[in-house]
Amino acid sequence: MAVGSVLSLFSGAGGLDLGVEAAGFRTTVAVEWDEDAADTMLKNRDRFFPELNEAMGVDLYPLATGQGKGVTTKDIMKVGGFSSRERPDLLVGGPPCVAFSKSGFWLDWKREADDPAASLLQAYTAVLAKSKPRYFILENVYALTFNNKASRPAFDRLLAEIKAAGYQFHWQVLHAADYGVPQARPRLFIVGARKGEKLPDFPEATHHGDWERRATGGGPLPHVTTGEALADLATTPEKSEVVRGKWGHLLPDIPPGDNYLYYTEKRGHPDPLFEWRSRYWSFLLKLNPNAPSPTIQAQPGPNVGPFHWDNRRLRVPEMRRLFTFPDEFEFVGRRNSVQSQLGNSVPPKLAEQVARKIAEIL
């Protein structure tokens, strides 16, 4: 028997929904503008989302701005089988995070907080205020909490709108690797409850290890490594796995776990090609089989990793494992679309542990 019903926004391929389903909830409606991602959820409906009525392929930007015509909260509620008397038990969602993502802060429009997609946070709070679920989970990039011109005003506004909607809440940055995900992926989670309901706790870390030269977690188990996660996985070559671009030929000489810094004078390379820290860390970055994967991006450049230690791009089944999607989960779309769906997703194993703290109350 289901713990409760879920209304899902910005659902992507369903990573967050897989997690809440594993915690005992049932998603009845999902809203996602990307057609491939929405089709992915529908393709997996019978096996993984048994009570999903529809994955609505609609854009929530008009709802965020109040300008133009678009889907309304009432429309979404109706598709999900909700009404003014039958409210969702849980609202979940991860609004697009490009404006606040740590990557790309060299761009003027990001530093100046001049991205219209930033207001999609307001689409989430608009639905929260009108659908009035008992609980909610909002996931986003942890850079939203940074004290800079782009992030701080948006974060303060978001928290104020949640409070105005009638919710108590707290927030925390959770590192996916600290919860058994074989990937270094810190994410912001805001969890809240209607006034009068018990506010759930955040889950305790189950794993520990290092991330960016500092220790994380505190759980009894060591981080799950890429070698462990991929050990029994059989895959077939993919056409797009060959690393090309201007610098792709350099990858074979880079040791596992290292990156372009291998080719610097500071590292003692006899023919240095790069200045020290002149590129992003992910440039020519190779997986270390003895550590979790670095964060896997949705739209990496031609020489942006992580790459497999066999000097190629990661194959779809490997990425699926490193995000903790089930092996049987099928994706719709071309290779670039699947990478985007995975790179934008919440690891289901992490989402499950957050949702279980709400399920325990219900």
Active site (catalytic) residues? 97
Helical residues (DSSP H) of 165-246, grouped into ranges: 226-230
Separation of alpha carbons 171 and 200, rounded Å:
11
* Partners of residue 304 on adjacent β-strands: 283
Separation of alpha carbons 87 and 81, rounded Å:
9
Separation of alpha carbons 297 and 304, rounded Å:
9
Residue 7 near residue 93 (C-beta atoms within 8 A): no
Helical residues (DSSP H) of 23-150, grouped into ranges: 35-43, 45-48, 61-65, 73-79, 108-111, 120-131
Residue type, 321: R
Pairing of strands 90-93, 221-222: unpaired
327, 328, 329, 332 alpha-carbon torsion, rounded to 10°: 110
Per-residue tokens: 55? 């994955």
Angle at 346 (CA atoms; ends 330, 337), nearest 5 degrees: 45
Per-residue tokens: 104? 């790309």
Separation of alpha carbons 360 and 349, rounded Å:
17
């949640």: which residue's tokens?
Answer: 162
**Measured in whole angstroms, how far is the alpha carbon of residue 277 from the centre of its chain?**
27
Residue type, 19: G
Backbone angles phi, psi at 45, to 5 degrees: -60, -50
Residue-wise over 289-302: b if at least 16 C-beta within 10 A, else e? Answer: bebbbbbbbbebee
Residue-wise over 343-356: b if at least 16 C-beta within 10 A, else e? Answer: bbbbbbbbbbbbbb
